[in-house]
Amino acid sequence: MSELLYLKDMQDGCMGILDAGMNDLMRTALYDAHHPVLPLQEPQLNDAACTYSLVGPICESSDKFGRYDGLGELRAGELLAFDLAGAYGASMASTYNSRDLLAEVLVDGDRFRTIRRRQGIQEMLQLEHGGAWERPAPGGRVMAEPVLHGGTKGTGEGIGRR
């Protein structure tokens, strides 16, 4: 599900910026896959309804979902559902541009359940740590010489750190 954040009339239709982006559904950016989009409210159909170009908020040239007809008259704040997000949607999702990792919802008829919770920015920041500043060793080496444990010198087998 995605919220329509902004809508603008253009010469060749309307542009809608969604809160979902290429980091959530990479398939369009990678190989021009098309995700059907459905308005969650019954659309008001009229002759003036736009062809919508739906894009994400990341401001990359590949942050777009495509052109859509038959959505009716949309307004900013309305919710849209991506139908058939495709295989590997969640596994290809990322926190690119420090965006939250989305929750996943499984729908079966008129029932739904969350199968993966949202990972927010505070949780992502917990993965960051300052660490200690290192100084180069005499001779300019920054890292310690690898210590071989049970391997043969030079093979990389059994490498550890001192």
Are 39 and 71 contacting, i.e. CB atoms less than 8 angstroms apart?
A: yes
Distance of CA 99 to the CA centre of its chain: 7
61's torsion region: left (phi>0), alpha (psi -120 to 50) or beta? alpha
Residue 116 φ/ψ, nearest 5 degrees: -150, 125
* Alpha carbons 134 and 20: distance in angstroms, whole number: 40
Quote the CA–CA distance of 92 and 25 in Å, as a whole number.
7
1, 40, 59, 143: which is the annotated catalytic residue? Answer: 59
Integer angstrom CA distances of residue 138 from 33, 70, 102, 141, 144: 54, 69, 47, 7, 11
Distance CA 121, CA 34 (A): 28
**Does the annotation mark 14 as catalytic?**
no
Active site residues: 59
